Amino acid sequence: MTAPTSRPFYLDCDTGIDDALALAYLLASPQADVRGIGTVSGNVSAAVGARNTLDLLQLAGHAHIPVALGAHDPLGGSFRGGAPHVHGANGIGEVSLEAASVELASETAAEMLVRLANEHPGTLRVLAIGPLTNIAEALRLEPELPRLVEEITIMGGAALAPGNITAVAEANIANDPEAAADVFAADWNVTLVPLDVTMSNVLEESHRQELLASSGPVPRALGEMLGYYFGFYEGIFGRACSAMHDPLAAALAVGGVRAAVAPLVRVDVDTTFGPGRGQTVCDLRGLYLDYPEQPGARCRVVLSLEDDFAPHLVETLLTFSSESTTAGTIVGAAVV
């Protein structure tokens, strides 16, 4: 059997709990070679997200991966404080991690993305799992970015599903609709992983217990974080479980799972200030009839998967053994 090919990745995130799962998934995946990470305000501020990312990288034994601080405020407004009710005040479910000794990169997240795209022209893949401010800023710095990037995978939006911030808007897009509009208007290959698929793939308490029973500090830390996350989602699903937004986007980006239904469509973002603000307007008419090819259709919108995602996610995260990390062990809800 041929070994999977590793591809260079840039990750843009707002490191809360599901971002932590996505980061760990990428680090454990043989298909991903993470060359740099940028943070943006979303679940937490860009600065808190950067600290969480540095600490998680050290815990996972990957402190060599550079982390760049990105935009604090969206293009058209101010950061509104994040989602502590979902991710905890520190963004990672009140789990304490040993502070990393590595400093942030000297460049901004947008500058890092542009540099990596020029260093890996035509092969760099981008995974954006937070608001799209840094990506929009990178497009302004380098108008040729879409030609340099092989593909961008975005966790965000809702095609046929309801929103989770408003009736129609998902959080990552709603936090900076202007940036999202710029990103979707650019001429590159986009895969959108919306609430339609992330809310229908659920991580259960039995899966969390598998992580907590691991000998490795990374899975156990993630299991502790998920306890907080499950507490939020219990009010939505009626049981201790959670959606898998960001790790599902990561798995699709590296090819760890495959889409069953993913039409190529045109996507526009509502940037008005009415009730539709932040909506991803996906032209899905082709699902129901032989509709002519859409001008400007460049976004693959994932609506369903071929297989259940949770077992694959847990199996991948459990590849972090106690020998693979040196940063510490978990005591209660803290890693020290």
Residue 308 lies in a domain: yes
> Which pLDDT does position 285 carry in this prediction?
85
Give the angle subtended at the CA of 327 by the CAs of 324 and 331, to the nearest 5°.
Answer: 110
- 14-28, 37-51, 314-328: the lowest-pLDDT one: 314-328
What are the phi and psi torsion angles at 151 (to 5°)?
Answer: -160, 150
Q: Is the pLDDT of residue 149 over 80?
A: yes
Q: Specify if 43 maps to a domain.
A: yes
Residue closest to 169 by CA, chosen among 158, 155, 180, 178: 158
What pLDDT was estimated at residue 295?
A: 75
User: 104 is in which domain, residue-wise?
Assistant: 7-285+294-328
pLDDT tier at 5 (50, 70, 90 boundaries)?
Answer: confident
Structure token pair of residue 145 = 């970015």
Report the CATH number at residue 307.
3.90.245.10
Q: Look at residue 126 and tell me whether its pLDDT is greater than 90.
A: yes
Q: 27 lies in a domain?
A: yes
Decide: 55 and 27 in contact? Cβ < 8 Å. no
Report the interhelical angle of 46-59 vs 17-28 (nearest 10°): 40
- What confidence score (pLDDT) does residue 289 get? 63
Assigned domain for 335 exists? no
Which residues, 6 or more positions from 77, have their beta carbon under 8 angstroms from its beta carbon? none
Would you say 294 and 300 are in contact if contact means Cβ atoms under 8 Å apart?
A: no
Query: Residue range 265-280: average pLDDT?
Result: 96
Per-residue model confidence as pLDDT tens digits over 34-80: 999 999 999 999 999 999 999 999 999 999 999 999 999 999 899 99
Report residue 291's pLDDT band, with 50, 70 and 90 as the boundaries.
low
Reported confidence tier of residue 321, pLDDT bands at 50, 70, 90: low
What pLDDT does 167 receive?
Answer: 97
Write down the catalytic residue from 12, 14, 182, 196: 14
164: its two tokens: 């989770």
Decide if pLDDT at 4 tops 80: no
Mean pLDDT of the chain: 93
Number of domains, the chain: 1
Mean pLDDT, rounded, for 202-229: 97
pTM as predicted: 0.94
Asked if the structure places residue 33 within a domain, the reply is yes
Which of 207, 245, 270, 283 is labelled catalytic?
A: 245
* Residue 14 annotated as catalytic: yes
Q: Determine the average pLDDT of the residues in 122-127.
A: 98
334 located within any domain = no
Residue percentage of the chain with pLDDT more than 70: 93
